[in-house]
Copies of this chain bind each other. A is one copy, B any other.
């Protein structure tokens, strides 16, 4: 008996694979500050939790494959409130952003086709690409210039008859980079010129700092046929466990095909959709509070990093991640060492090694992704441990 090649080859989560080291440290009574995973500590809105408390159907039944109508309508309201006019038929509710990405890949590309994606990218795109049997063609971006969108010429070099789409994450996980309106419109022009879909993962749309404004792929005029947007409530409302997302496009043929994929798995979870729907009607003050909290956390982490000699890092403008390039060779080895061997007052810290966020072999080995998802007291302590740990690790490795 032999499992399939794709099952042998599919990437193990680089965010989760070092968890056994963390668990082993915890078993010894060590406190571990988790900066490795994007699980925010911001409370889920009580309005959302309340919906679970009030669910009173006698039968917990299937919903429609495209999502509960009430929630589709709620999403139309949400997007309207951020300046994006949509109809319910443009939206299919998915089982988190994960399923939305998988559907987008399968609808846009056939087995063996290629999708270009700026690297470093959200590592689970690799898993979705394996499931969809497509190849991700990475276009490298760099810590030194804040992981800026590459020029058209760099994209052009990667084009082949198999290229069916470009995929971006905006604001970026793991980079925190926000593409400007000019960036996005340029990329859209490029996609239009070459007949490509542009799949835009916008799950961090609300998390933009320094007074910047987000531009959605759905805001590009004349780009309706090409634009596919992927979204999720996980980060927006600190509701990662609800597993509710959506795929959005004004391309009606594409949405009709996506619905067939959605029908195969019947429907997203019912109560969780109702709960997500409560969030749609939260006032702007909810986001104002959350965003200013994340902005100050970013500043805290960034300032702490700037206080360490030899690190490379531009201040990111969105999401809640920072990639830092370290003056060491092997960031994964460093994280394992932090978990196994380093203690500061009985505590240590965990971040995500970046190699798994790159598709080009060898890149990102000296980089870590830090998720600033803890409260500022914990972040302050975590960054102190990080700095001390790095210093000691570098001495050992000398």
Note all chain B residues with C-beta closer than 8 A to A265. 95-96, 98-99, 102, 124, 127
Output the least CB separation between A292 and chain B (Å): 19
Output the least CB separation between A139 and chain B (Å): 21
| Partner-contacting stretch, out of A176-184, A236-244, A282-290 | A236-244
Give residues of chain A (39-89) contacting chain B, Cβ–Cβ below 8 Å.
39-44, 48-49, 52-63, 65
Give residues of chain A (306-333) contacting chain B, Cβ–Cβ below 8 Å.
none
Q: Is A226 an interface residue (CB 8 A)?
A: yes
Instruction: Scan A267-286; emit 1 where CB is below 8 A from any B CB, else 0.
Output: 11111100000000000000
Q: Is A207 an interface residue (CB 8 A)?
A: no
Q: Is A18 an interface residue (CB 8 A)?
A: no
Note all chain B residues with C-beta closer than 8 A to A39. 59, 61-62
Given contacts A65-B13, A226-B1, A257-B8, contact A60 B131 (CB under 8 A): no
Note all chain B residues with C-beta closer than 8 A to A52. 52-53, 55, 271
Output the least CB separation between A86 and chain B (Å): 19
Query: A6 contacts B106, CB within 8 Å?
Result: yes
A60 touches which of B54, B57, B240 (Cβ 8 Å): B240
CA distance A130 to B257 in the complex (A): 12
Q: Is A254 an interface residue (CB 8 A)?
A: yes
Give residues of chain A (172-226) contacting chain B, Cβ–Cβ below 8 Å.
195, 197, 225-226
Work out how many copies of this chain go into the complex: 2
Q: Which residue of chain B has the shortest Cβ distance to A132 in the bound complex? A: B131
Output the least CB separation between A218 and chain B (Å): 16
Q: Which residue of chain B has the shortest Cβ distance to A127 in the bound complex? A: B264
Q: Is A248 an interface residue (CB 8 A)?
A: no
Query: A5 contacts B110, CB within 8 Å?
Result: yes
Query: B55 contacts A107, CB within 8 Å?
Result: no
Query: B3 contacts A62, CB within 8 Å?
Result: no
Query: B4 contacts A109, CB within 8 Å?
Result: yes
Note all chain B residues with C-beta closer than 8 A to A48. 60
Given contacts A39-B62, A59-B43, contact A241 B271 (CB under 8 A): yes
Output the least CB separation between A262 and chain B (Å): 9
Given contacts A241-B63, A261-B131, A272-B272, contact A98 B266 (CB under 8 A): yes
| 23 A-B pairs with C-beta separation under 8 A | A1-B197, A1-B226, A4-B164, A6-B111, A7-B261, A11-B264, A12-B260, A12-B263, A13-B65, A39-B61, A43-B59, A52-B271, A60-B238, A62-B240, A95-B243, A96-B265, A96-B266, A98-B265, A102-B265, A124-B265, A126-B264, A127-B265, A240-B266
A-B pairs with the 6 shortest C-beta distances?
A127-B264, A241-B270, A7-B257, A13-B263, A98-B265, A60-B241
